[in-house]
Amino acid sequence: MKKKYTSLLCVVLMNTWCAVAQPVNTLVKVIVAPDHTDWAYKLNEPVIFKVTVLKDGNPLKNISIKYQVGPEKMEPLKKDSVLVKEGTFSVTPTSLKSPGFIQCIATIKYDGKEYRGLATAGVEPNSIKPTAEIPKDFISYWETAKAELSKVPLDARMTLIPERCTENVNVYHVNIQNYRAGTRLYGILCVPKKEGKYPALLQVPGAGTRPYSGDIANAEKGIITFQIGIHGVPVNMDPVVYNNLGAGALNGYWYFNLENKDRYYYKRVYLGCVRANDFLQSLPEFDGINLGVTGGSQGGALSIITAALDSRVKYLAAYYPALSDLTGYLNGRAGGWPHLFDKNNLAFNNSKEKIETIGYYDVVNFARQLKIPGMYTWGFNDETCPPTSMYAAYNVITAPKTLYLALETGHWTYPEQNEKMNNWMFEKLKGIN
């Protein structure tokens, strides 16, 4: 049994923030970089990308490189191929007339395999404005929903997991009643054993389906941690169960009931995050004050949303938030994951009812409501959560905010990012500064 949970922990650590592992090193590397070291440009300023192809650390000579340049997720402005004799060349300059991001993607074929590289330059990203419109009843809609949630008994059920407990931490599989009677929210709770009062950290998940085993490391440091799932199923089952759900009943759950704001899949999810805080607040070990929320991708979105909906949250740390400025595609630019209105989904989702629903769920409209300090991190090369969409949300935040950029990262993080974010949250919750 111990071996099973060790393996499960590895799965959880890989998936908690929905952070894809760093790209694996390959024999041939296609390196693309803007000519400004900060990857930042002004409106109408020429952006020059340098493409270098390396093998064994040296330029690969006489290689054909295909490339395209244009606003991220949009049709390229330039598309061509070139024979490079010395392994490196500079792409003809391109510029943008409005704030956004311009991307260069380069590919080569070598010895029967294709290799790819990209870089994304920011053109006055701090001036990007959202396309998302806020419904007139946005605040009252969610206040009514929270009032309905408050009438549902918590009915918390905790089951100790002895094989996961440590000398200093108790670990529980928890399920509580969620929005609308009969639905449940499941998670893994880790509580310090030593008698006392502790801060708490809610950890919200990235997209998909998976098991969890809890954040014991932070609990060992004196923080109550609650790692939740969003799908209303236990989070301690065999991984194959979640694989089957992801490929079957929960495949594309972000589209479910999109035409109706009251039945949309994420309504129960958003309110479930508030319900998770209800549970944390009920714990006798909680200090009653210091509550944080963190997550990446879908979890980054849920971090912002939870902090906006629940004034009991004091700090948030969001990694590359999804669900941001979803209507960007309807306005000729990149929108956030799950790309509801891109060229692949437009025909299915481009209806008055679905567009209206999205206004109640877009991260931008929750970001407008934030009142607490937050730390955020992402990179410019994220093709899952395009930086255009993330800046659209970040730029409307008026609460104290800090953005830690790791420019070349995509939908993954460096250890330094994780360390920076974890330390920030730890210090806030523990009142170190």
* Residue 180: predicted pLDDT: 81
pLDDT at residue 39, as a whole number: 98
Burial of 366 (0-12, 13-18, 19+ CB in 10 A): buried
Residues with Cβ within 8 Å of 369's Cβ and at least 6 positions away in sequence, in order, are 139, 308
State the DSSP string of 274-322. Answer: HHHHHHHHH-TTEEEEEEEEEEETHHHHHHHHHHHH-TT--EEEEES-S
Q: Has residue 294 got a pLDDT over 60?
A: yes
What share of the chain in percent tops pLDDT 70?
95
Fold of 28-127: Immunoglobulin-like (2.60.40)
159-216 tens-digit pLDDT: 999 999 999 999 999 999 999 878 999 999 999 999 999 999 999 999 999 999 999 9
Residue 293 has pLDDT above 60, yes or no: yes
- Arithmetic mean of pLDDT, 342-369: 97
The residues, any chain, with a CB within 8 Å of residue 228's CB and separated by 6 or more, are 185, 186, 187, 202, 203, 204, 205, 212, 235, 272, 273, 276
Q: What is the pLDDT of residue 281?
A: 98
Average pLDDT over residues 368-392: 98
Task: Assign domain 138-430 to its CATH architecture.
Answer: 3-Layer(aba) Sandwich (3.40)
pLDDT at 21: 63
Check if the beta carbon of residue 154 is closer than 8 Å to that of residue 177.
Answer: yes
Do the beta carbons of residue 102 and residue 120 sit within 8 Å?
Answer: yes
132-149 per-position pLDDT tens digit: 999 999 999 999 999 999
Return the pLDDT at 18. 45
Q: Residue 422, SS3?
A: helix
Q: What is the pLDDT of residue 20?
A: 53
Tens of pLDDT, residue by residue over 77-86, are 999 999 999 9
Query: How far apart are alpha carbons 206 and 431 in whole angstroms?
Result: 28
Q: Is the pLDDT of residue 15 over 90?
A: no
Only one residue has tokens 């994951």, namely: 337
pLDDT confidence bin for 267, thresholds 50/70/90: very high
User: Strand locations in 197-265, DSSP E?
Assistant: 198-203, 224-228
Report the interhelical angle of 138-150 vs 265-282 (nearest 10°): 50
Model confidence at 1, pLDDT cuts 50, 70, 90, reads very low
Mean pLDDT of the residues in the chain: 94
List of residues 6+ apart from 17 with CB closer than 8 A:
206, 295, 296, 297, 299, 300, 319, 413, 418
CA gap 359, 377 in Å, rounded: 24
What pLDDT is attached to residue 22? 76
Burial of 32 (0-12, 13-18, 19+ CB in 10 A): buried
- Is the pLDDT at 333 greater than 50? The verdict is yes
Task: Provide the pLDDT for residue 13.
Answer: 39
Boundaries of CATH 2.60.40.1930 in the chain?
Answer: 28-127
**Residue 361: phi, psi to the nearest 5?**
-125, -5
For residues 329-353, give the mean pLDDT: 97
The residues that are catalytic are: 297, 382, 411
Is there a contact between 199 and 294 (Cβ–Cβ < 8 Å)? no
Sequence ranges of the chain with CATH classification 3.40.50.1820: 138-430
- The pLDDT of residue 9 is 38
E-strand spans in 135-280?
Answer: 157-160, 169-177, 184-192, 198-203, 224-228
89: CB partners within 8 A, 6+ apart:
50, 51, 65, 82
pLDDT at 121 over 60: yes
Which pTM value belongs to this model? 0.95
